Amino acid sequence: MDQLADLEQPPRVSRRIAPPLVDPFGRAITYLRVSVTDRCDFRCVYCMSEAMTFLPKTEVLSLEEIDRIASAFVRRGTRKLRLTGGEPLVRRGILELVRSLGRHLDTGRLDELTLTTNGSQLARFAADLHAAGVRRVNVSLDTLDPDKFAAITRWGRLPQVIDGIAAASAAGLHVKLNMVALAGVNDGEIDAMLAFAARGGHDLTLIETMPLGEIDGDRVDQYLPLSRVRADLERRWTLHDLPDATGGPARYVRIGETGQRLGFITPLTHNFCESCNRVRLTATGQLYMCLGQDDVADLRAVIRTPGNGDDDDALDLALNEAITRKPKGHDFVIDRRSATPAVRRHMSVTGG
Protein backbone atom coordinates (compact mmCIF):
# COMPACT_ATOMS: atom_id res chain seq x y z
CA MET A 1 0.00 0.00 0.00
CA ASP A 2 1.08 3.60 -0.62
CA GLN A 3 1.24 4.70 3.00
CA LEU A 4 3.73 6.70 5.01
CA ALA A 5 6.40 4.62 6.66
CA ASP A 6 6.31 4.05 10.41
CA LEU A 7 6.76 7.54 11.86
CA GLU A 8 8.20 6.04 15.05
CA GLN A 9 11.40 5.25 13.13
CA PRO A 10 14.35 7.53 13.99
CA PRO A 11 14.50 10.54 11.65
CA ARG A 12 17.08 10.63 8.89
CA VAL A 13 20.03 12.82 9.70
CA SER A 14 22.54 14.77 7.68
CA ARG A 15 26.13 14.84 8.82
CA ARG A 16 26.73 17.80 6.53
CA ILE A 17 26.10 21.38 7.75
CA ALA A 18 23.33 22.50 5.41
CA PRO A 19 22.84 26.28 5.18
CA PRO A 20 19.67 27.93 3.83
CA LEU A 21 19.09 27.65 0.10
CA VAL A 22 19.82 30.90 -1.77
CA ASP A 23 19.80 31.23 -5.56
CA PRO A 24 22.44 33.05 -7.67
CA PHE A 25 20.39 36.27 -7.51
CA GLY A 26 20.31 36.37 -3.72
CA ARG A 27 16.74 35.11 -3.38
CA ALA A 28 16.21 32.77 -0.43
CA ILE A 29 14.12 29.70 -1.32
CA THR A 30 11.42 29.80 1.33
CA TYR A 31 8.46 28.37 -0.61
CA LEU A 32 8.05 24.86 -2.02
CA ARG A 33 5.08 23.76 -4.09
CA VAL A 34 4.64 19.99 -4.23
CA SER A 35 2.51 18.15 -6.77
CA VAL A 36 1.39 15.00 -4.98
CA THR A 37 -0.28 13.57 -8.09
CA ASP A 38 -0.77 14.38 -11.76
CA ARG A 39 -4.28 12.90 -11.62
CA CYS A 40 -7.42 15.00 -11.43
CA ASP A 41 -11.16 14.42 -11.43
CA PHE A 42 -11.63 17.44 -13.75
CA ARG A 43 -10.32 18.05 -17.26
CA CYS A 44 -10.22 21.84 -17.42
CA VAL A 45 -9.90 23.05 -20.99
CA TYR A 46 -6.94 25.38 -20.33
CA CYS A 47 -5.05 22.82 -18.25
CA MET A 48 -5.14 19.43 -19.98
CA SER A 49 -6.55 17.37 -22.80
CA GLU A 50 -9.70 15.38 -22.15
CA ALA A 51 -7.97 12.10 -23.05
CA MET A 52 -5.02 12.43 -20.68
CA THR A 53 -2.42 9.70 -20.20
CA PHE A 54 -1.37 9.76 -16.56
CA LEU A 55 1.87 8.61 -15.00
CA PRO A 56 2.42 4.98 -13.98
CA LYS A 57 2.23 4.66 -10.21
CA THR A 58 5.79 3.31 -10.07
CA GLU A 59 7.06 6.68 -11.33
CA VAL A 60 5.18 8.68 -8.71
CA LEU A 61 6.84 9.45 -5.39
CA SER A 62 5.50 7.56 -2.40
CA LEU A 63 4.09 9.61 0.45
CA GLU A 64 7.20 8.85 2.49
CA GLU A 65 9.43 10.10 -0.34
CA ILE A 66 7.40 13.32 -0.64
CA ASP A 67 7.70 13.82 3.10
CA ARG A 68 11.45 13.22 2.99
CA ILE A 69 12.11 15.75 0.24
CA ALA A 70 9.73 18.37 1.63
CA SER A 71 11.27 17.98 5.08
CA ALA A 72 14.75 18.48 3.60
CA PHE A 73 13.56 21.81 2.20
CA VAL A 74 12.13 22.79 5.58
CA ARG A 75 15.46 21.97 7.19
CA ARG A 76 17.12 24.24 4.58
CA GLY A 77 14.94 27.27 5.28
CA THR A 78 11.63 26.70 3.48
CA ARG A 79 8.85 28.31 5.53
CA LYS A 80 5.83 27.56 3.34
CA LEU A 81 4.66 24.31 1.75
CA ARG A 82 1.80 24.12 -0.72
CA LEU A 83 0.39 20.76 -1.84
CA THR A 84 -0.97 20.76 -5.37
CA GLY A 85 -1.78 18.40 -8.22
CA GLY A 86 -3.52 17.48 -10.39
CA GLU A 87 -6.07 17.41 -7.66
CA PRO A 88 -4.23 16.67 -4.42
CA LEU A 89 -7.29 15.39 -2.58
CA VAL A 90 -7.69 12.44 -4.97
CA ARG A 91 -4.30 11.09 -3.84
CA ARG A 92 -4.82 8.06 -1.64
CA GLY A 93 -3.48 8.68 1.87
CA ILE A 94 -3.22 12.46 1.39
CA LEU A 95 -4.34 13.17 4.96
CA GLU A 96 -1.52 11.04 6.34
CA LEU A 97 0.95 13.19 4.42
CA VAL A 98 -0.64 16.42 5.62
CA ARG A 99 -0.60 15.22 9.23
CA SER A 100 3.04 14.17 8.94
CA LEU A 101 4.16 17.47 7.39
CA GLY A 102 2.18 19.28 10.07
CA ARG A 103 4.87 18.32 12.59
CA HIS A 104 7.00 21.11 11.14
CA LEU A 105 4.30 23.59 12.12
CA ASP A 106 4.48 22.26 15.68
CA THR A 107 8.25 22.76 15.83
CA GLY A 108 8.02 26.29 14.41
CA ARG A 109 10.27 25.49 11.45
CA LEU A 110 7.33 25.88 9.05
CA ASP A 111 5.03 28.91 8.96
CA GLU A 112 2.33 27.57 6.70
CA LEU A 113 1.05 24.36 5.12
CA THR A 114 -1.51 25.06 2.42
CA LEU A 115 -3.36 23.36 -0.41
CA THR A 116 -4.57 24.23 -3.90
CA THR A 117 -7.67 22.28 -4.92
CA ASN A 118 -10.53 22.28 -7.41
CA GLY A 119 -12.89 21.99 -4.45
CA SER A 120 -14.55 18.75 -5.53
CA GLN A 121 -13.42 16.83 -2.44
CA LEU A 122 -13.38 19.66 0.11
CA ALA A 123 -16.69 18.72 1.73
CA ARG A 124 -15.09 15.39 2.71
CA PHE A 125 -11.71 16.67 3.80
CA ALA A 126 -12.08 20.24 5.12
CA ALA A 127 -12.42 19.44 8.83
CA ASP A 128 -9.54 16.95 8.78
CA LEU A 129 -7.30 19.38 6.91
CA HIS A 130 -7.90 22.02 9.56
CA ALA A 131 -7.21 19.51 12.32
CA ALA A 132 -3.90 18.66 10.62
CA GLY A 133 -2.73 22.28 10.66
CA VAL A 134 -3.92 23.67 7.31
CA ARG A 135 -5.40 27.14 7.70
CA ARG A 136 -5.76 28.34 4.10
CA VAL A 137 -6.81 26.71 0.84
CA ASN A 138 -6.88 28.03 -2.71
CA VAL A 139 -9.90 26.87 -4.69
CA SER A 140 -9.97 27.07 -8.49
CA LEU A 141 -13.33 28.50 -9.59
CA ASP A 142 -13.65 30.07 -13.02
CA THR A 143 -17.41 30.62 -13.28
CA LEU A 144 -20.62 30.56 -11.27
CA ASP A 145 -22.68 29.39 -14.24
CA PRO A 146 -23.35 25.61 -13.86
CA ASP A 147 -23.43 24.94 -17.60
CA LYS A 148 -20.32 26.99 -18.28
CA PHE A 149 -18.60 25.32 -15.31
CA ALA A 150 -19.34 21.91 -16.81
CA ALA A 151 -17.98 23.07 -20.17
CA ILE A 152 -14.75 24.50 -18.69
CA THR A 153 -14.04 21.54 -16.37
CA ARG A 154 -15.59 18.91 -18.68
CA TRP A 155 -16.18 16.55 -15.75
CA GLY A 156 -16.98 18.91 -12.88
CA ARG A 157 -20.23 19.87 -11.14
CA LEU A 158 -20.54 23.38 -9.73
CA PRO A 159 -22.78 22.52 -6.72
CA GLN A 160 -20.15 20.05 -5.49
CA VAL A 161 -17.52 22.80 -5.47
CA ILE A 162 -19.81 25.38 -3.87
CA ASP A 163 -20.57 22.87 -1.11
CA GLY A 164 -16.85 22.25 -0.68
CA ILE A 165 -16.14 25.97 -0.31
CA ALA A 166 -18.89 26.25 2.31
CA ALA A 167 -17.48 23.25 4.18
CA ALA A 168 -14.00 24.78 4.15
CA SER A 169 -15.27 28.03 5.63
CA ALA A 170 -17.29 26.16 8.26
CA ALA A 171 -14.16 24.21 9.24
CA GLY A 172 -12.24 27.44 9.82
CA LEU A 173 -10.21 27.42 6.60
CA HIS A 174 -9.66 30.74 4.86
CA VAL A 175 -10.58 30.35 1.20
CA LYS A 176 -8.94 32.18 -1.68
CA LEU A 177 -10.66 31.76 -5.02
CA ASN A 178 -8.49 31.47 -8.14
CA MET A 179 -10.22 32.46 -11.39
CA VAL A 180 -8.44 31.95 -14.72
CA ALA A 181 -9.57 34.79 -16.96
CA LEU A 182 -10.59 33.39 -20.35
CA ALA A 183 -11.48 35.62 -23.29
CA GLY A 184 -15.00 35.05 -24.56
CA VAL A 185 -15.72 32.58 -21.76
CA ASN A 186 -15.84 34.21 -18.34
CA ASP A 187 -14.61 37.74 -18.99
CA GLY A 188 -18.12 39.07 -18.31
CA GLU A 189 -18.38 37.34 -14.91
CA ILE A 190 -15.65 38.99 -12.88
CA ASP A 191 -18.03 41.36 -11.08
CA ALA A 192 -20.26 38.41 -10.20
CA MET A 193 -17.28 36.49 -8.84
CA LEU A 194 -16.22 39.51 -6.79
CA ALA A 195 -19.72 39.65 -5.29
CA PHE A 196 -19.68 35.91 -4.52
CA ALA A 197 -16.29 36.23 -2.86
CA ALA A 198 -17.45 39.22 -0.81
CA ARG A 199 -20.50 37.35 0.49
CA GLY A 200 -18.33 34.46 1.66
CA GLY A 201 -15.48 36.56 3.02
CA HIS A 202 -13.08 35.08 0.44
CA ASP A 203 -10.18 36.70 -1.38
CA LEU A 204 -10.17 36.48 -5.18
CA THR A 205 -7.18 36.21 -7.49
CA LEU A 206 -7.41 36.51 -11.27
CA ILE A 207 -4.90 34.54 -13.34
CA GLU A 208 -3.78 34.81 -16.95
CA THR A 209 -3.81 31.50 -18.83
CA MET A 210 -0.28 30.07 -19.05
CA PRO A 211 1.29 28.29 -22.06
CA LEU A 212 1.97 24.93 -20.40
CA GLY A 213 1.24 21.59 -22.07
CA GLU A 214 -0.71 20.54 -25.13
CA ILE A 215 -4.47 21.14 -24.85
CA ASP A 216 -7.37 20.60 -27.24
CA GLY A 217 -7.96 24.30 -27.95
CA ASP A 218 -5.98 27.41 -28.88
CA ARG A 219 -4.56 29.38 -25.97
CA VAL A 220 -4.28 32.48 -28.15
CA ASP A 221 -8.07 32.51 -28.35
CA GLN A 222 -8.31 31.96 -24.57
CA TYR A 223 -5.73 34.58 -23.58
CA LEU A 224 -7.13 37.63 -21.81
CA PRO A 225 -4.56 40.22 -20.64
CA LEU A 226 -5.28 41.19 -17.06
CA SER A 227 -4.13 44.72 -17.83
CA ARG A 228 -7.30 44.96 -19.92
CA VAL A 229 -9.37 43.42 -17.11
CA ARG A 230 -8.01 45.89 -14.57
CA ALA A 231 -8.74 48.84 -16.85
CA ASP A 232 -12.31 47.59 -17.22
CA LEU A 233 -12.74 47.14 -13.47
CA GLU A 234 -11.45 50.65 -12.84
CA ARG A 235 -14.44 52.01 -14.77
CA ARG A 236 -16.69 50.75 -11.98
CA TRP A 237 -14.48 50.33 -8.91
CA THR A 238 -11.75 52.22 -7.08
CA LEU A 239 -8.63 50.04 -6.96
CA HIS A 240 -5.89 50.84 -4.46
CA ASP A 241 -2.53 49.08 -4.95
CA LEU A 242 -1.38 47.13 -1.90
CA PRO A 243 2.16 46.20 -0.82
CA ASP A 244 0.91 42.77 0.37
CA ALA A 245 3.25 39.85 -0.32
CA THR A 246 2.12 36.28 0.35
CA GLY A 247 5.14 34.45 -1.08
CA GLY A 248 3.36 33.92 -4.38
CA PRO A 249 3.31 35.84 -7.67
CA ALA A 250 0.08 37.81 -7.14
CA ARG A 251 -0.04 41.59 -6.96
CA TYR A 252 -2.92 42.87 -4.86
CA VAL A 253 -5.34 45.78 -4.83
CA ARG A 254 -8.02 46.82 -2.35
CA ILE A 255 -11.44 47.62 -3.81
CA GLY A 256 -12.43 50.88 -2.18
CA GLU A 257 -16.18 50.36 -2.34
CA THR A 258 -16.19 46.88 -0.75
CA GLY A 259 -12.89 46.60 1.13
CA GLN A 260 -12.11 43.35 -0.70
CA ARG A 261 -8.63 42.25 -1.64
CA LEU A 262 -8.19 41.30 -5.29
CA GLY A 263 -5.07 39.68 -6.72
CA PHE A 264 -3.67 39.61 -10.25
CA ILE A 265 -1.25 36.91 -11.46
CA THR A 266 0.19 38.16 -14.74
CA PRO A 267 3.00 35.96 -16.09
CA LEU A 268 2.57 37.43 -19.57
CA THR A 269 1.58 41.09 -19.22
CA HIS A 270 3.78 41.72 -16.16
CA ASN A 271 6.62 39.34 -15.39
CA PHE A 272 6.50 38.48 -11.67
CA CYS A 273 9.94 36.87 -11.38
CA GLU A 274 12.06 39.49 -9.66
CA SER A 275 11.07 38.37 -6.15
CA CYS A 276 10.60 34.65 -6.89
CA ASN A 277 11.35 32.63 -3.77
CA ARG A 278 9.83 29.30 -4.82
CA VAL A 279 10.56 26.06 -6.58
CA ARG A 280 8.28 23.21 -7.63
CA LEU A 281 8.52 19.49 -7.00
CA THR A 282 6.59 17.24 -9.36
CA ALA A 283 4.80 14.05 -8.42
CA THR A 284 7.74 12.13 -9.94
CA GLY A 285 10.37 13.92 -7.87
CA GLN A 286 11.57 16.34 -10.54
CA LEU A 287 12.49 19.73 -9.13
CA TYR A 288 11.73 22.66 -11.41
CA MET A 289 13.52 25.82 -10.43
CA CYS A 290 11.21 27.85 -12.69
CA LEU A 291 7.62 27.18 -13.78
CA GLY A 292 8.32 28.65 -17.21
CA GLN A 293 11.54 26.79 -18.06
CA ASP A 294 12.44 23.13 -18.54
CA ASP A 295 15.62 22.86 -16.47
CA VAL A 296 15.07 20.12 -13.89
CA ALA A 297 16.84 18.25 -11.08
CA ASP A 298 15.92 14.59 -10.59
CA LEU A 299 15.52 14.22 -6.82
CA ARG A 300 13.74 10.89 -7.16
CA ALA A 301 16.90 9.36 -8.60
CA VAL A 302 18.89 10.75 -5.68
CA ILE A 303 16.72 9.31 -2.93
CA ARG A 304 16.17 5.98 -4.72
CA THR A 305 19.87 5.40 -5.35
CA PRO A 306 21.10 2.48 -3.20
CA GLY A 307 23.10 3.77 -0.26
CA ASN A 308 21.25 7.09 -0.02
CA GLY A 309 18.58 5.81 2.32
CA ASP A 310 20.29 6.27 5.69
CA ASP A 311 20.96 10.02 5.63
CA ASP A 312 20.29 13.09 3.51
CA ASP A 313 23.81 14.14 2.56
CA ALA A 314 23.29 13.28 -1.11
CA LEU A 315 19.92 15.03 -1.13
CA ASP A 316 21.46 18.16 0.39
CA LEU A 317 24.15 18.21 -2.28
CA ALA A 318 21.53 17.78 -5.02
CA LEU A 319 19.51 20.70 -3.62
CA ASN A 320 22.63 22.88 -3.50
CA GLU A 321 23.43 22.14 -7.14
CA ALA A 322 19.84 22.60 -8.33
CA ILE A 323 19.35 26.00 -6.73
CA THR A 324 22.54 27.31 -8.38
CA ARG A 325 20.66 26.85 -11.67
CA LYS A 326 17.55 28.82 -10.73
CA PRO A 327 17.09 31.43 -13.51
CA LYS A 328 16.28 35.07 -13.04
CA GLY A 329 12.94 34.72 -14.84
CA HIS A 330 10.69 32.69 -17.12
CA ASP A 331 10.26 32.72 -20.90
CA PHE A 332 6.45 32.60 -21.15
CA VAL A 333 4.88 33.90 -24.35
CA ILE A 334 1.59 33.25 -26.14
CA ASP A 335 1.98 33.90 -29.83
CA ARG A 336 0.08 32.80 -32.95
CA ARG A 337 3.43 32.33 -34.73
CA SER A 338 4.10 29.29 -32.55
CA ALA A 339 1.64 26.42 -32.39
CA THR A 340 3.42 24.72 -29.52
CA PRO A 341 3.23 25.67 -25.82
CA ALA A 342 6.15 27.50 -24.22
CA VAL A 343 6.54 24.49 -21.93
CA ARG A 344 5.38 21.05 -23.04
CA ARG A 345 4.59 19.59 -19.61
CA HIS A 346 1.07 20.12 -18.29
CA MET A 347 0.43 22.22 -15.21
CA SER A 348 -0.99 19.09 -13.56
CA VAL A 349 2.46 17.49 -13.82
CA THR A 350 4.39 20.50 -12.51
CA GLY A 351 1.94 21.43 -9.78
CA GLY A 352 -0.52 24.27 -10.06
Known binding-site residues for GTP equal 33, 82, 116, 176, 278-280
Residue 244 to residues 46, 121, 250, 316: CA-CA distances in angstroms?
Answer: 28, 30, 9, 32
285 backbone φψ class: left, alpha, beta (φ>0; ψ -120 to 50)? left
- Can you say which residues are annotated as belonging to the binding site? 33, 40, 44, 46-47, 82, 86, 116, 140, 176, 210, 273, 276, 278-280, 290
- Can you say which residues are annotated as belonging to the binding site for [4Fe-4S] cluster? 40, 44, 47, 273, 276, 290
- Can you say which residues are annotated as belonging to the binding site for S-adenosyl-L-methionine? 46, 86, 140, 210
- Going by DSSP bridges, is the β-strand pair 251-255/261-265 parallel, antiparallel, or unpaired? antiparallel
Strands (E), the chain: 31-35, 80-84, 112-117, 136-140, 174-181, 203-208, 239-241, 251-255, 261-265, 278-281, 286-288, 296-298
Q: Which of 83, 111, 109, 79 is nearest to 96 (CA)?
A: 83
Other CB atoms within 10 Å distance of the CB of residue 237 = 17
DSSP state of 167: H
